[in-house]
Amino acid sequence: MSPKKLATKPADLPWGRARRIVAQKYREIAEVAESEDGAAINVCVGLCVLAGIAASDAICAAAGGERYSGTDHSAAADLLARHDAEAAKHLRTLIALKPAAHYGKDLLKESDRRAAMRASAALVEEATRRTT
């Protein structure tokens, strides 16, 4: 059975490097919010989500010369899984937190922040490894 068709666009290594730099910056700013409580947890998790998405783009560009171009983040994780199953697990962790972090009215928990920080760190590290 062939893999399901995903909406992609070509992406070369320089584009991937640019996305990795953006991912690193999102992650850097997330670290600033890491020590604060309350709404800062949601902000930190939201930045980790953005870092993870950008890092995923970089990994896919470096590994396959393409990037996901649709709006379904789960499909982006499917594309990433074609290149790196472990990285895709981290992206799925972040995608699960995205609605609450970006659109929710309730404050997230410290455990959510820890999970997001771990997942985004792994993705940014892998993006750095593949694009440096």
pLDDT of the chain, 132 residues: tens digit per residue: 556 789 999 999 999 999 999 999 999 999 999 999 999 999 999 999 999 999 999 999 999 999 999 999 999 999 999 999 999 999 999 999 999 999 999 999 999 999 999 999 999 999 999 999
CATH number for the domain whose boundaries are 10-131: 1.20.120.330
CA angle 118, 8, 132 (to 5 degrees): 50
Amino acid at 107: L
What gap in Å lies between CA 52 and CA 12, rounded to an integer?
Answer: 19
What gap in Å lies between CA 130 and CA 132, rounded to an integer?
Answer: 6
pTM: 0.95
